[in-house]
Amino acid sequence: MLSMILTIILMDLLTGVEGHINGSQHIPFTLLQKNINVFTSQEDEKICVLYCQKGMRSKKAAEWLLLAGFKNIYSLKGGFEAWSTR
């Protein structure tokens, strides 16, 4: 039987006052394009889920990263707001 280890990186794009999901890495949306180097080629082997307050900024950030050639980039639908109400 083939076993696979799945690594998921949760990336917090919030400004800091909006909320935070434990275990996520933080880079504010406003700094993401200038600091795209925080994503390395090693991230291609991992799944990266981005989130913001409602999902709009994370969706835009996911589009930027995919256009920059990164793979396995996703946006958390509904953002932190949807996650925190579940």
What one-character DSSP code corresponds to residue 82? H
Was domain 8-84 assigned CATH 3.40.50.300? no
pLDDT at residue 56 in the model: 95
Question: In terms of pLDDT, which residue wins out, 18 or 53?
Answer: 53
Q: What is the pLDDT of residues 42-70, one digit of tens each?
A: 555 788 999 999 999 999 999 998 988 88
| Catalytic residue list | 52
Q: Residues in the chain, how many?
A: 86
Q: Residue 75: beta bridge partners?
A: 50
Domain definitions of the chain by residue range: 8-84
Q: How many CA atoms lie within 13 A of 22 on its CB side?
A: 0
3-state SS class at 48: strand
